[in-house]
Chain A
Amino acid sequence: MNLIVSALKKDDLYNKKIIERIQQNINNVEIIYAEDMDINGCIGCNRCWLVTPGVCTIKDDYEKLLIKFLQSKQVIFISDLKLGFVSYKLKNIIDRLLPLATMNVRFKNGQMRHYLRYKKHYKMGLIYKGNGNQEFLEKWLERVMINFDGTSIGTYNIENEEEILNELINY
């Protein structure tokens, strides 16, 4: 399954258009809208690492999302850019990925990394709406994925539909 997690409003015209194009070109796409979900920010309590390993202490819709992440072949996030970064709605979702890692750390490629909880190669990409520093967004997503033993599919401006479709089909 290919998962799209959109932090844009459902009726956002760009959002509608890109999702329609993706659905026309790629099979087995599931879409989740942040606006339909109750996702709070991570409170940094570390309980998912130290007390109830793998389970977040905040009981909202995060569990549904976490399960979807584990089931997906690839995940595409869609967000508008606020102050050059993804919106807080998406950052809250990303921050809540922590239960996927464990407390224990090791060195990988010269830097400290957490051991991952599940054996899975995560692939995640970002489609962004608005102006921002593409180079920074690329670097950020790459580093996010290194932390989860995964691969970044890249970051794309929502207006570059053809590029997005080409890349997604290749992955």
Chain B
Amino acid sequence: MNLLIISCTPRIKEKSNTDKILDEFKKGYESYGNTTETLYLYKRNEWETIRKKFYENDNILFALPLYVECIPGIMAEYLESLKPKQKNNTKIGFLLQGGFGEASQLRCCESYLETLPSLLGCEYNGTLLKGNMFAVSFMDGKIRKKMVEPFYNMGKYYAQNNYFNKEVVNDFAKPEYFSKKVIFLNNILSPLNKFFIKVFAKKLGCKGSLNDKPYQNYVKR
């Protein structure tokens, strides 16, 4: 079986967390002799082709990062340019990743994705979701590998089942919320965490403070 993957991140491939996750997922999916083809919405000059592929394929996965509680603007723009399919035999699954650690942060977007395929004349194949993915692109080597590796098995799972079962996904995506103990520890370690982020920002070229308020003069409370 062939899976058409539409990567809906605005980031270029080299800097994209979504695509590093997809790389693992695809390896798992292809391990059963399946094939995948991946297209990228950030390549705007290819949208005509990406639309054509959407109409031609009946097994599609949209992969996306969470952007302010729902789909990124670029994905909304692409979807708005599609016409609903007439033959109702296309299955659409989603791979949704986010920066915050808890699965609960992705549920609002998930509830939207559940409704989306039917509006495009397609069937819903479930959503694989996972948080705590903010640093994937910043990390290298072993740490990155450890972060994205679990998606290999989910690729295999999707190849076998062609559906993301909610219980399986919930187990994969946990914690739904952090426990009180984790929150307590996190609060204690917060100054250290802030320090690391500061050092990291400096390395990226940040000259000011991360809390700079460049437009403070305009604030009316």
A residues sitting closer than 8 Å to B (CB atoms) are: 1, 41-45, 49-55, 66-67, 70-73, 82-88, 91-92, 94-95, 97-98, 102-107, 110-112, 115, 117-121, 133, 136, 139-140, 143-144, 147
- CB pair A88–B77 under 8 Å, yes or no, is yes
Q: A51-B204, A143-B108 given as contacts; is B80 within 8 A of A83 (CB)?
A: yes
- CB pair B67–A42 under 8 Å, yes or no, is yes
B residues sitting closer than 8 Å to A (CB atoms) are: 9-11, 15, 65, 67-74, 76-77, 79-80, 100-102, 104-105, 108, 111-112, 115-116, 119-120, 177-178, 183, 186-187, 190, 193-194, 197, 200-201, 204-206, 208-216, 218-221
Q: A41-B74, A42-B10, A111-B105 given as contacts; is B209 within 8 A of A97 (CB)?
A: no
Q: A83-B80, A107-B186, A110-B177 given as contacts; is B201 within 8 A of A54 (CB)?
A: no
- CB pair B220–A73 under 8 Å, yes or no, is yes
In Å, the complex CA distance between A111 and B71 comes to: 20
- CB pair A111–B104 under 8 Å, yes or no, is yes
In-complex Cβ contact of A50 among B11, B183, B201 (8 A):
B201
- CB pair A91–B215 under 8 Å, yes or no, is no
In-complex Cβ contact of A54 among B65, B112, B214, B221 (8 A):
B214
Closest to B179 in A: A110
In Å, the complex CA distance between A83 and B115 comes to: 9
In the bound complex, residues from chain B placing their C-beta under 8 Å from that of A67 are 215, 218
Closest to B65 in A: A44
- CB pair B206–A70 under 8 Å, yes or no, is no
In-complex Cβ contact of B177 among A1, A70, A111 (8 A):
A111
**Taking the nearest CB of chain B, how far is it from the CB of A44, in angstroms?**
5
- CB pair A95–B15 under 8 Å, yes or no, is no
Most buried by B among A53, A73, A94, A97: A53
In Å, the complex CA distance between A1 and B187 comes to: 37
In the bound complex, residues from chain B placing their C-beta under 8 Å from that of A112 are 100-102, 105, 178
In Å, the complex CA distance between A44 and B9 comes to: 8
In the bound complex, residues from chain A placing their C-beta under 8 Å from that of B212 are 53-54, 117
In the bound complex, residues from chain B placing their C-beta under 8 Å from that of A82 are 76, 79-80
In Å, the complex CA distance between A147 and B218 comes to: 21
Q: A44-B11, A50-B204 given as contacts; is B112 within 8 A of A136 (CB)?
A: yes
- CB pair B69–A144 under 8 Å, yes or no, is yes
In Å, the complex CA distance between A86 and B76 comes to: 9
In Å, the complex CA distance between A60 and B177 comes to: 38
- CB pair A118–B177 under 8 Å, yes or no, is no
In Å, the complex CA distance between A72 and B220 comes to: 7
Q: A71-B218, A112-B102, A140-B108 given as contacts; is B76 within 8 A of A87 (CB)?
A: yes
- CB pair B201–A45 under 8 Å, yes or no, is no
Q: Give 19 CB contacts A-B under 8 Å.
A: A43-B11, A44-B72, A50-B201, A50-B204, A52-B206, A53-B209, A66-B215, A70-B215, A70-B219, A73-B220, A84-B119, A85-B112, A91-B68, A91-B71, A95-B73, A112-B105, A115-B211, A120-B219, A140-B69
